[in-house]
Structure 1
Amino acid sequence: MKKYSIYFLTLVLAGIYACTPAEGSKEEEKAKATKEEVTFPELAGNMTIYEVNIRQFTPEGTFKAFNEHLPRLKELGTEILWLMPIQPIGEKNRKGSLGSYYSIKDYKAVNPEFGTLEDFKTTVDKAHELGMYVILDWVPNHTAWDHPWIKGHPEYYAKDSLGNITYEADWTDIALLDHSNAETRKEMIDAMKFWIDETDIDGFRCDHAGHEIPLYFWEEATATLDSIKDLFWLAEWDEPRMHMELDVTYNWSILHATESVAKGEHSADELYESIEKDLAHYGHSPFRLLMTTNHDENAWAGTVFERYGEGHKAFAVFTFTVYGIPMIYSGQEVGLDKRLAFFEKDSISWNDENGLTDFYKKLVKLRKDNAALWSGHYGGMPEKINSNNENILVYSRKKDNNQVLVILNLSNKPQKIELSPELSGEYENYMTNEQIDLTSLKSLKPYEYIVIVK
């Protein structure tokens, strides 16, 4: 038997050698190019994230209806589609008539209100055909009360002092999981793997990523899942340690700082101090998610018009240019002017009465085309420039031969400005296509914004 084994091995090796491409062949060059292919997070360095609320996106609230919007989102320039949870929603202790996306009844199934698993696969495939990536909102912190684990594996859950499965705050529709249990982590990672294997998604937006969830869960998850496919990881958490395993963290501090400036509680100078503190705390390399709205802000805190008033465009320019990675929420690009119901059907109107689509399209392209504005160390550090006015924020970002200068009046009143003589000269305001002479620039209108690309 040993003799035949050696003979067989010789034949196999000969076959492998015969099939090996010659040095300098197209096959070898292709293989080399594949090895050097850009991966996440660098791949997302110049991209914009778009959050998709399937329930409210269309009157039908289905994947099939959403697919009709994919070419429009491609034209908008957004490249990463974050879909809010698509799994079946728990019925026990449900809030409202439709319940919360974040009360998961079955991790490996699709909410029948949205369609079927095949429908979702089609959505992912169509997005991929358009050159876009799909990340799925993942809820590892808790399940619905009628999830099979409640009865089948109560040991997966956190317990109160009396030994009863517990929940968090006033979220009475969810049961809190215990990730100190290795089996809980194993089953959770297996469920995540299901969506990569079955639907070819490109990553996860990790809900409540650091609350009651130990970092070693994410160590185990990324080690297992990144070996299957290059994935993009967005953490809903504002803490540096998350970057040990995940790509992006929420920048809640800057979001709330911009809201304070819009209310007149803080100045633009104080906003920049928040930026400096954030960079000192996190460093330049991590990707920080910047936004003026998302599903939580819109539903519970108010629309961008309620929170930023006439300044909503100026603060959007800020989030797209200062640093980090920006995102757009469903309907934001057409001026969503209502708080979408969280537990009921409440469709978005796609009538762009304020002409905001072109505004956001321009911002997305600005970032895409200018390396100075890319995320993390792939872009340039923001450098503050003195404006001699605490309400006007002026900063520059440089990367190699690319430079972007941003001038923002973050107040609802006209403001005087005095720029350094070194900024003199005539340029085009990227956002308006108008010529502007910085030498003679002495004042800005309320919430006026100027972006100059050098």
Structure 2
Amino acid sequence: MTAAINRTPLASDDDWWRSAVVYQVYVRSFADANGDGVGDLQGIRERLPYLRELGVDALWLTPFFTSPQIDGGYDVADYRDVDPMFGTLADFDAMITDAHALGLRIIVDLVPNHTSSAHPWFRAALAARPGSAERERYLFADGKGEQGELPPNDWESIFGGPAWTRVADGQWYLHLFDPAQPDLNWRHPEVRAEFEDVLRFWLDRGVDGFRIDVAHGMIKAEGLPDVGFNSMTTGRRQSELLGKGRLPYFDQDEVHDIYRAWRPILDSYPGGRMAVAEAWAETPQRLARYIGPDELHQAFSFDFLDATWSADSFRKVIDTALAESTIVGAPTTWVLSNHDRQRHVTRYGDGEVGLRRARAAALLMLALPGCAYLYQGEELGLPEVLDLPDELRQDPAFLRTGESRDGCRVPIPWSGELAPYGFSPEGCELSWLPAPATWRALSVAAQTGVPGSTLELYRAALRIRHEHPALAGTAGAVTWLEAGPGVLAFRRSAGDTVLTCAVNVSGAEVVIDGYGRPIVASAELTEQGGGHLLPVDAAAWFERR
């Protein structure tokens, strides 16, 4: 059994988010308590002791609000209620009460760029006439061409295809994602007031923070100007500019006015309520603008998601993120996987190679200063499920582009020899997506207490991260070390105590010497001379006091 982690009581640490480890719960795929094959809030509540023992500080829950579920709940029809698929508000209240009692905080996913087409506001807009007050809450526009038969501009949906859909009276409405997700008009005071009230609704229920979906997207350039190209005209998708260039519908300066209005609301509640932006910007300086004492607390650093398995790539990602952190005086936020990207076991090569590298990458990330976000199942070493039948896929992007995020959303395995591996109650075989037969060996039960398992590696690393003076809190800046070609090594220190993280991406075994005794490693180390032999695609933490 892993030793218990010492925790600071919730009410006494307003800066908890600066060094927290946050576990992303994809709600429909975490744990199913009622046997319908879909994860729910009661399932999360029952598994809270597992998450406490794992050693995380907070849970980020993907949207559980009332929704037609066209885009996995990111199409919200009622921001103040729980979808019956996931339970009730009473279930949420019971879950958050239990989480707080265990020292776990709760972050909820807020979706402010767009609503569901089933939202009462949008239904009223469709029933109203062009130019009506109801339509002003969204982005309706007249089309181009003699009869308005062409879209108002060349904007493209992130999910592929045009970002405009025409309604019966001839006008068009904007949806940067699925047609079932109409974009809101954030220059409308009623929209701003509504979401400020939504924030207070969930803060009053005790939530500790918000993950802001598409935080860069709420304001569109005046006049809705063309981008100048799209996949129909050049074969190049506009989404390729995300994080690399400017688009008239993303990262507009006026978006920061929204967060300057939100920050006082967060600050008016006790206990360090926070918000983290899912934001893409063309430069580190522009991304840094989302963070600060008058705006949001964090913005995700997504560069790890695109890093290749090389010392140079990882070093560049880390140096860039730490430089951004210095710009804003706020901690870096690290991510290896999430619900929108292929799991990093598969990105790093899949199979045994991918798993070895994923385990090493976890130690690399968890040794860095700042906040780390884990995606459910990565502590089990889950790979992407690449062979889901097309007819079972539910990602709306799949029908438009052939690309699917369903493979990283398969329900995680808890126990047993047969699918769905304890995801649903005993005797229930329902699961909204099927888990592969190979996952029986990756379940929580199969790995618990097994030396060298990925689960026990995460438990050990998280315990050390919380308790080691060189890693705990915000202590210990990164100092790079010269460790030979293909070896990434840095140290963090607190007083006379030094922790060194070494990662071998060289393609051959290397001897690590002079860093002290190993305290955790992603692969077995052997002594050689006065040092230790670090295997290929492995990482280890060494301590010297």
TM over 0.5: yes
Q: Of the candidates 214, 220, 227, which is equivalent to residue 268 of structure 2? A: 227
Matching residue of 1:117: 89
Determine which structure has more spread, i.e. the larger CA radius of gyration: 1
Query: In 1, Cα distance between the equivalents of 2:411 and 2:378?
Result: 13
Query: Of 182, 187, 191, which aligns to 2:189?
Result: 182
Give the one of 349, 371, 374 matched to 2:413: 349
Amino acid at match of 2:179: T
Deviation at 1:373, TM superposition (A): 2.6
Q: Tell me the equivalent position of 2:541.
A: 451
Measured in 2, the distance between the counterparts of 1:68 and 1:444 equals 39
Matched-pair contact (CA < 8 Å) for 2:19–2:372? no
Deviation at 1:120, TM superposition (A): 0.7
Name the amino acid aligned to 1:192. L
The whole-number CA distance in structure 2 between the counterparts of 1:426 and 1:106 is: 55
CA distance in 2, matches of 1:447, 1:155: 55
Following superposition, the deviation at residue 303 of structure 1 comes to 5.3
Shift of 1:273: 2.8
Deviation string 1:1-56 (CA, Å, 9 cap, x unpaired) is xxxxxxxxxxxxxxxxxxxxxxxxxxxxxxxxx9x9431xx223342101111211
Structure 1 residues 206 and 347 mapped into 2: Cα distance closer, same or farther (>3 Å)?
A: same
Confirm or deny that 1:286 pairs with 2:286. Answer: no
Contact 2:358 2:381 in 1 (8 A): no
* Separation of aligned partners in 1, 2:411 and 2:533: 42
**Aligned mate of 1:45, from 4, 8, 18:** 18
Measured in 1, the distance between the counterparts of 2:536 and 2:53 equals: 30
**Residues 342-421 of structure 1: matches in 2 within 5 Å?**
343=395, 346-350=410-414, 351-352=443-444, 353=446, 355-374=453-472, 378-389=474-485, 391-411=486-506, 413-416=507-510
What TM-score do you get using the length of structure 2 for normalisation? 0.66
Contact 1:45/1:325 (<8 A) preserved: yes
Which piece of structure 1 moves more, 268-277 or 424-433? 424-433
- Deviation for aligned residue 1:316: 0.9
Change (3 A) 1:330 1:185: same
Distance (whole Å) between structure 1 residues aligned to residue 330 and residue 314 of structure 2? 20
Query: C-alpha deviations, 1:42-100, integer Å up to 9, x for none?
Result: 22334210111121112442211221100111111111111101101137xx3xxxx42
Residue number in structure 1 paired with 2:380: 334
Q: Closer, same or farther in 2 for the Cα pair 1:305/1:209, shift >3 Å?
A: same
Structure 1 residues 183 and 127, CA gap change in structure 2 (3 angstroms): same
Contact 1:424 1:437 in 2 (8 A): no
Distance 2:57 2:358 in 1: 23
* Moved segments of 4+, more than 6 Å: 432-439
Check if 1:166 corresponds to 2:174: yes
Task: Write the letter of the residue equivalent to 1:139.
Answer: V
Aligned length: 392
CA displacement 1:181-223 (0-9 Å, x = unmatched): 22211111111211122x2111111111122341111111121
Structure 1 residue 443 displacement after superposition: 5.5
Q: Give 3-state SS (helix, strand or coil) of 2:348's partner.
A: helix
Aligned residue type for 1:76: L
Q: Are 2:428 and 1:428 aligned?
A: no
Cα deviation for residue 432 of structure 1 reads 7.3
Q: TM-score, normalised by structure 1?
A: 0.79
CA shift at 1:442, angstroms?
7.9
Q: After alignment, is 272-281 or 127-136 more displaced? A: 272-281
Counterpart contact for 2:516–2:542, Cα < 8 Å: no
1:242 corresponds to which residue? 290
- For residues 157-191 of structure 1, the C-alpha deviation after alignment (integer angstroms, 9 at most, x for no partner) is 123453532101x5222111121222211111111
Aligned to 1:26: none
- Given that residues 335 and 356 in structure 1 are in contact (C-alpha distance below 8 angstroms), is that contact kept between their aligned partners in structure 2? yes
In structure 2, the CA distance between the partners of 1:51 and 1:121, relative to structure 1 (3 Å rule), is same
Contact map agreement 1:414 1:443 (CA 8 A) in 2: no
Aligned to 2:131: none
**1:334·1:356 contact (CA, 8 Å) conserved in 2?**
yes
1:203-257 superposed Cα distances (whole Å, 9 cap, x missing partner):
1111111223411111111212321343021211251111121122111123312
Partner of 1:136: 108
Gaps of 5+ in 1: 1-33, 262-266
Deviations 1:299-349 (A, max 9, x none): xx3452343513110111111112331122122222323449655895321
Which structure is higher in helix share? Answer: 1
Change beyond 3 A, Cα 1:392–1:160: farther
The code of the aligned residue for 1:332 comes to: E
Runs of 5+ in structure 2 lacking a partner? Answer: 1-8, 126-133, 144-170, 220-254, 281-286, 396-405, 415-442, 448-452
Give the superposition deviation at 1:363.
1.6
Give the percent of matched residue pairs that are identical in Structure 1 and Structure 2: 26
1:71-220 equivalences in 2 (<5 Å): 71-90=49-68, 94=70, 99-150=71-122, 151=124, 153-162=134-143, 164-168=172-176, 170-197=177-204, 199-213=205-219, 214-220=255-261
Q: Structure 1 406/225 Cα, relative in aligned 2: closer, same or farther at 3 Å?
A: closer
Rounded to whole Å, the distance in 1 between the matches of 2:537 and 2:523 is: 17
Letter in 2 for 1:316: A
1:415 shift after superposition:
4.2
Q: 1:45 to 1:279 in 2, by over 3 A?
A: closer
